Each structure stands twice: as structure tokens, then as C-alpha cells.
Amino acid sequence: MTESSYPISRFTPPELSSLPEDIRAQIETVQEKSGFVPNVFLVLARRPDEFRAFMAYHDALMEREGNLTKAEREMIVVATSSANQCQYCVIAHGAILRIRAKNPLIADQIATNYRKADITERQRAMLDFAMKVAQQAHQVGEEDFATLVSHGFDQEDIWDIAAIAGFFGMSNRIANVTNLRANDQFFTLGRD
């Protein structure tokens, strides 16, 4: 499968050979594992310090041990990124969600209207809260915590939901400004 001929961003990605050793290694690792390099790696690599902080933050939130499954963390990404109209994040993390959830339908359902998706009531409460964090965090209050607790979430889970919604809110904004293009591969991954 060859890549589209469209530029991957309004910002030209750096030459791989010009990158610091640790970043080049990280990019080579993801390429070996996935078969391609997600464009976000290439564009963020223009700024090595931000690249390192971004990836460290991402992994701290998305690969953390905790009550939220990895698929649930991706649900949060897809729902909030869709509200923020971030093409890269919805399409790339939609693929990851399909794979993590072993469900070819879930990503498109959540991206268009999570309220109608094939999810549990607990997951619905999780996404309701994530969307409130993404859109009206200033109104979050005790009643939101009480609702989440009634669905079995504890304080650390709530921090996770909020931090993931917040982190991808940042990522969505950067992707929209840099016009970051989703790799062709993401559109079809996990659809079988």
C-alpha cells in the first residue's frame, strides 16, 4: 500500500537522519511494530523537546494500570476528538479503538454519536463526563463525581478520564492547526 500524495501537514516534517538519536529510535520502533509511521510522530519530531514530553505524557495516560481498559481510554479519545473535529485523532485512534475493543463498529458509532453506540451504561457515564471535560470543564462539580462513583469509578479513574480528555484536547488543537493528515492505513485497520 503506497501513501497518498497529499502533504502530511502544513508544517514540513524533518529528515529522519537529522533527528536526535532517541527520537529516531522511537520512530523506527513504531514503524517496525505497525508497519508504518503514524504522521503525528513525523510532525512533532520538528520539536524534539515537545515530542519527548508529548509521548511521555501520552504513554503515562494511555498505558497506565487502572480500572479503565485500554479500549475505554481510546473511547474517550475518539468521542472527544470528534467533538473537537480532529480528523487525525478520530481516524487514527478510531483504528486503535477497533483493535483494542476487537469491535469493527464501535469507533464509527462513537465518533458520530456516542450516545447511540454499543457501549455499557458505565461507559456511557464515562463518555458523558469526558465530553463535559472537553466542552464545559468549568462547570464540573460534585454532582459529576457522585454520578461517576455511582457507576463504580474511583477518584483515580476520574483523574484518568479528565486527563485523557484534556491531553487529547491539546493534541486535537495542534493537529487542527498543523493540518495533520491521518495515514491511509488507519482508515481500514481493525475493520475485519
Q: Which residues bind its own copies (CB under 8 A)?
A: 4, 6, 10-11, 46-47, 49-50, 52-54, 56-57, 59-61, 82, 84-87, 90-91, 94, 104-105, 108-109, 111-113, 115-118, 133-134, 137-141, 145, 155, 158-159, 162-163, 165-167, 169-174, 176-179, 181-182, 184, 187-188, 191
Q: Shortest distance, CB of residue 19 to its own copies, whole angstroms?
A: 16
| Terminal C-alpha separation, the chain | 17
Task: Check the CA dihedral 64-128-191-40 and report its sign.
Answer: negative
The C-alpha angle 4, 8, 14, rounded to 5 degrees, equals 125
Q: Shortest distance, CB of residue 151 to its own copies, whole angstroms?
A: 16
- The set of residues, in sequence order, having a beta carbon less than 8 Å from that of 163 and lying 6+ positions away, is 61
Residue (25 or 105) nearer to its own copies, CB: 105
Residue (18 or 32) nearer to its own copies, CB: 18
Cβ burial of 18 (10 Å; 0-12, 13-18, 19+) is exposed
Task: Check the CA dihedral 144-145-146-150 and report its sign.
Answer: positive
Residue (32 or 182) nearer to its own copies, CB: 182
Q: Shortest distance, CB of residue 49 to its own copies, whole angstroms?
A: 4
Q: Shortest distance, CB of residue 128 to its own copies, whole angstroms?
A: 10
